[in-house]
Structure 1
């Protein structure tokens, strides 16, 4: 039964925010509101403009990005919204319909099936791993509606074998929520998925990350099919070596994977073995600070045909602190010093607070510092299964620029 007449608390936006919502903004921050918003986690609200005109229905929740999301701009919509199974199920079904080509692709069995605000409900995402679902909850407010979301998910994807949840809103440790929890089914300790025919071993219920970043699918494919044949490859901040595996299968003569995490050796070996490859003379792993390795490579006159840079937005080791918005320039300069002439620099960042223009500017400044000319080759952003609303540029976070050293 529709509840259009149900009265929801009204939250008034400032003039500039009113304009932005009309242009498609979905995410709301504290500064968007006339008064600092007071709310309970997950509270359903009516959003109004400075002149009290209706802007939409949404919900409030404290998260890293902001404090609320608009769910619909239809004034005649059922105001039950997230309490309404039909509303949630329709959003999930629409998302599934948009991913039919991936769901029937036997060579790719891991991808995103629901991308939060890009698919109509901000605050959580769902990834598909060969029949298993991984949900990431980004606020206590959206977590409040998990029973309805899980019911809708099972109705839309009856073939699901199991569901894992990651509670990413408990970063400060103030709330008593598990980091990871099994929500349905039996979850294997490890699972092998495919991406463009390449095997990757993932762990769905082991910490924040699974072993592969699904948003880099198109970049890995480009490296494998277009750049790697006959090349030597340095993969910095390599994690489990996914870029290295793609390059090796594409015909790279050598790969070097470098990451400071102690588990990177074991996890990278595992990924190579899943594809019939071995770590050894041709494919190597170094567990060390990336910046120390750059110094080591320069002092030992090591050179590579491809250097891949995919650092976290922020990281800190004993000797180095890296912040993408400030330090990418120097990282590029150091990397170019060990890149062969005619070689390729693959620069990537997931820093939502850095625009593509600023990212390219930092790369350009780094090349100037290294006294090197770069020729643009290719650009990548989020793949089609990671839709982002046009009104929220921070949701379109992935920026990958590939250059050739002149």
Structure 2
């Protein structure tokens, strides 16, 4: 196996179980070795630091999958998958829509696998995982015996390693819609055509907690609703829900989900750009008892944090103006570079500008089937806060 030698300044963090070696941390690398090959990583003194996937031109030169020198054969990948599956087993009591593999969070860098009622979705984000994808599919078939496997390797992360998007059927037949349930709430999932892999199971815990704070008859706004996740939980609690999103196909599925849960009478959908709709609704005097604000990733890079703060404030201000005293606002961000501090700061400044006092009622992170690894901060991407507007 070829080797990559890192600079002295990278040794400590890799010994502390960090999983990436960046290009500017490499002292020596093999000449002519192709992308996606396994390499051993060593310190300048020759000490073994781990084994990982190599890419000669990417920003991340090595993505580690072990902290020793190992031969990544089929038996190794089988053990890795078994460990990931075992971690999710207790969660099956609450949902049959789970993330089975979460990339670096499971020491399987670049691999994402979702399970929607025994229909699997696989996503390879890196060249290393692309190279062993046939083996991964074979192992998943043996370990899970799924009804089907569909590929959704159509994420921008692939472009960082020069990979084209790729989607399609890998095993069995995936239906246009798959029905799942979480905590007794039912959802249709569009695996081939939905956003990302079809459903955002990472918000499962946040949805449940948000709904637990509601009362029958509450007026709830589900902003950036996608297929109605937060809104459907609220409607099942007896709330009257307005779900707003600019994705018409997603809203059609949200309406179908409302029918599935027998809450159509108190669930309305609105197709609109939230950056325009929210200020207009506030100016028109709309009032809500609770609002879920779950925008897509607003920024991608650290140097865009000021922009991200401004965009969040543009969304939060009108929400605060529409909330009654004592009302709830749940704000989420899935952008890694919008950290908890920035998310809190955007709400604090917006609250000051609108004359609102906010009590922090809860702090949420991604659900347990998206495990974040303490020594790898990049694995924690989803964060949220629930605020209560204090009365005068």
Which of 183, 186, 198 pairs up with 1:196? 183
Name 2:43's counterpart in structure 1: 49
SS of equivalent residue, structure 2 residue 128? helix
Are 1:376 and 2:360 counterparts?
yes
Tell me, in whole angstroms, the C-alpha distance in 1 between the residues paired with 2:55 and 2:259.
Answer: 43
Contact 2:121-2:197 within 8 A present in 1 as well: no
> Where do residues 27-176 of structure 1 align in structure 2 (5 Å cutoff)?
27-34=20-27, 39-61=33-55, 66-75=60-69, 77=70, 79=71, 81=72, 84-103=73-92, 105=93, 107-158=94-145, 160-168=146-154
Are 1:12 and 2:1 counterparts?
no
Which of 192, 201, 204 pairs up with 1:205? 192
Tell me, in whole angstroms, the C-alpha distance in 2 between the residues paired with 1:181 and 1:112.
Answer: 19
Report how far residue 228 of structure 1 moved. Answer: 4.9
Name 2:314's counterpart in structure 1: 330
Which of 241, 248, 251 pairs up with 2:235? 248
Report how far residue 290 of structure 1 moved. Answer: 0.5
Contact 2:4-2:29 within 8 A present in 1 as well: no
Are 1:265 and 2:259 counterparts?
no
Tell me, in whole angstroms, the C-alpha distance in 1 between the residues paired with 2:259 and 2:363.
Answer: 30
Contact 1:179-1:207 within 8 A present in 2 as well: no
Change (3 A) 1:99 1:341: same
Q: Deviations over 1:322-381 (max 9, x none)?
A: 953542123222221111110011000001122222222222222122221110111111
Which of 6, 15, 20 pairs up with 1:22? 15
Change (3 A) 1:120 1:264: closer
Contact 1:61-1:139 within 8 A present in 2 as well: no
> Where do residues 241-390 of structure 1 align in structure 2 (5 Å cutoff)?
241-252=228-239, 254-278=240-264, 282-314=266-298, 324-390=308-374
Gaps of 5+ in 1: 1-7, 316-321
TM-score between both structures, scaled by the size of structure 2: 0.90
Tell me, in whole angstroms, the C-alpha distance in 1 between the residues paired with 2:74 and 2:111.
Answer: 16
Name 1:5's counterpart in structure 2: none
Tell me, in whole angstroms, the C-alpha distance in 1 between the residues paired with 2:274 and 2:82.
Answer: 43
Contact 2:5-2:44 within 8 A present in 1 as well: yes
Q: Count residues in correspondence.
A: 382
SS of equivalent residue, structure 1 residue 263? helix
Contact 1:9-1:46 within 8 A present in 2 as well: yes
Tell me, in whole angstroms, the C-alpha distance in 2 between the residues paired with 1:335 and 1:63.
Answer: 44
Are 1:394 and 2:378 counterparts?
yes
Q: Deviations over 1:25-51 (max 9, x none)?
A: 113332332368875221111111243
SS of equivalent residue, structure 2 residue 262? coil
Report how far residue 143 of structure 1 moved. Answer: 0.9
Contact 1:341-1:405 within 8 A present in 2 as well: yes
Report how far residue 17 of structure 1 moved. Answer: 2.0
SS of equivalent residue, structure 1 residue 98? helix
SS of equivalent residue, structure 1 residue 337? helix
Name 1:221's counterpart in structure 2: 208
Contact 2:223-2:293 within 8 A present in 1 as well: yes
Q: Choose between structure 1 and 2: higher helix proportion.
A: 2
Tell me, in whole angstroms, the C-alpha distance in 2 between the residues paired with 1:287 and 1:354.
Answer: 26
Q: Which moved more, 1:47-56 or 1:118-127?
A: 47-56
Q: Which moved more, 1:195-204 or 1:32-41?
A: 32-41
SS of equivalent residue, structure 1 residue 52? coil
SS of equivalent residue, structure 1 residue 376? strand
Change (3 A) 1:399 1:55: same
Tell me, in whole angstroms, the C-alpha distance in 2 between the residues paired with 1:235 and 1:386.
Answer: 23
Contact 2:206-2:364 within 8 A present in 1 as well: yes
Tell me, in whole angstroms, the C-alpha distance in 1 between the residues paired with 2:167 and 2:309.
Answer: 30
SS of equivalent residue, structure 1 residue 99? helix
Tell me, in whole angstroms, the C-alpha distance in 2 between the residues paired with 1:256 and 1:18.
Answer: 52
Contact 1:30-1:36 within 8 A present in 2 as well: no
